[in-house]
Structure 1
Amino acid sequence: MARRSDAAAGTPATLALTRAGVAFRAHAYEHDPRAAAYGLEAAEKLGLDPERVFKTLLAVVDGSLAVAIVPVAMQLDLKAFAHAIGGKRAEMADPAVAERKTGYVVGGISPIGQKTSLPTVLDESAILCEAVYVSGGRRGLDLELAPDDLLAVTDGRYAPIARAR
C-alpha cells in the first residue's frame, strides 16, 4: 500500500503515520454537514463495506479516558470495553472532553495522532480485514491501513468490544 498525503496534508494522524513509517492511503470524500452518522457516511461515499470502516469512540472507564475502535455498522459494548481495559464500568465520554483530549472534532476523531496518548482497543473483527479505514483527523477523510499497523501506531490491542445495533 503506497503512502499518499496529497488529500491528507497536515493532519496529526497522517503526520504520525508518516513519522512511524507506516504504509497508508488517504481517501477524501465530500462530507455532508447534515449527515447523522459520520462513519456510515464515509462507508457510503467511499463505496466500502461498513464492516471495514471503523469509528473512533472515547469512553470513561472507571474515571479514566480510553479509545474504542469499532465497525461503523455496530455499536460499542461498554461492559466488554470496560473489561478489555481492565475496568468495571464504562460510559461514553462527553464530546467536548473527547475533542479537547484528542485535538480532533467529533466526526473527525482519529485514533492516530491524538494530543493525549490513551489506552486503545480495536474490535477483534478487524483481524479478518487486510485493511481497515479510520478517520484521518477531519470530517471527509479516511485512512486505509493494516489493522496491525493501526495497533502498532496507537499502542493498542484487539478485544471483542463491538455488538450489533
Structure 2
Amino acid sequence: MSRRAKGGGATPATKALSAAGHEFVERAYEHDPAAASYGLEAAEALGVEPERVLKTLLAQTDLTRDHGLVVAIVPVDHQLDLKAVAAAVGAKKASMADPAGAERATGYVVGGISPIGQKRSLTTVLDESAMSHETILVSGGRRGFDIELAPSDLVEVTRAFIATIGR
C-alpha cells in the first residue's frame, strides 16, 4: 500500500502513522454537512463496504485512568455495545461520552475524530470484526478524510485491545 496525498494537508493522524513507519492511503471525499451518518456517507462516497469503514466513538466509564474515557472503534453499520466496551476494559459500566468532552480529549471534531494521533493516548478497543479485512478505513482527523490501513497497523499505533464491541 502506498501513501497518496489527497486530503489537502497532514493531520495529527497522518503524522503519527508516518512517524511510526506505517503504510496508509489517504482517502478524501466531499463531505455533505447534512449527512445523517458520517460513516455511512464515507462508505458510499468512497465506494467501500460499510463493514470496512470504522467509526471512532468515545465512551465514558467508571475507571479512574484517562478520566474514564475509552476509544471504541466499530464498523459504521454496527452499533456500539456499551456493556461489551465496559467488560473489555474492566469497567462496571459505560455510556457515550459527551461530544464536547470527546472533542477536548482527542483534539478532533465530532465526525472527524480519528483513533490515531489524539491529544493524549486513551485506552482503545477495536471491534474484532475489523481483523477479518486486509485493510480498513478510519477517520483521518477531519470530516471528509479517511485513512486506509491494515488493521494490525491500527492496533499497533493505538495499542488497542481487540474485543467484540459492535452489534
Return the TM-score normalized by structure 1: 0.96
Q: Distance in 2 between matches of 1:86 and 1:147?
A: 23
- Of 130, 145, 150, the residue aligned with 1:146 is 150
Query: Structure 1 residue 162 and structure 2 residue 166: aligned?
Result: yes
Partner of 2:139: 135
- Of 92, 98, 113, the residue aligned with 1:88 is 92
CA contact (8 A) 1:8 1:26 kept: no
Give the letter for the 1:19 counterpart.
A
Partner of 1:30: 30
CA deviation map 1:22-81 (0-9, x unaligned): 000000000001011100000010011000000000001115001000000001000001
Q: Distance in 1 between matches of 2:119 and 2:90?
A: 23
Kindly state the Cα deviation for residue 5 of structure 1 after the two structures are TM-superposed: 3.2
Partner of 2:126: 122
Q: Distance in 2 between matches of 1:94 and 1:117?
A: 18
Distance 1:137 1:6, change over 3 A: same
Partner of 2:104: 100
Give the letter for the 2:46 counterpart.
L
What's the Cα RMSD here?
A: 0.9
Kindly state the Cα deviation for residue 9 of structure 1 after the two structures are TM-superposed: 2.0
Percent sequence identity over aligned pairs: 66
Query: Structure 1 residue 46 and structure 2 residue 46: aligned?
Result: yes
Give the letter for the 1:31 counterpart.
H
Mind listing any 5+ residue stretches in structure 1 that lack a counterpart? none
Kindly state the Cα deviation for residue 3 of structure 1 after the two structures are TM-superposed: 1.6
CA deviation map 1:95-131 (0-9, x unaligned): 0000000000000000000001100010000111000
- The answer to which of 138-147 and 8-17 deviates more is 8-17
**Helix, strand or coil for the counterpart of 1:108?**
coil
**Helix, strand or coil for the counterpart of 2:101?**
helix
Kindly state the Cα deviation for residue 7 of structure 1 after the two structures are TM-superposed: 2.0
Q: Distance in 1 between matches of 2:128 and 2:9?
A: 30
- Of 97, 113, 120, the residue aligned with 2:117 is 113
**Helix, strand or coil for the counterpart of 1:162?**
coil
1:58-69 paired onto structure 2 within 5 Å: 58-63=58-63, 64-69=68-73
**Helix, strand or coil for the counterpart of 2:52?**
coil
Return the TM-score normalized by structure 2: 0.95
Q: Distance in 2 between matches of 1:15 and 1:37?
A: 26
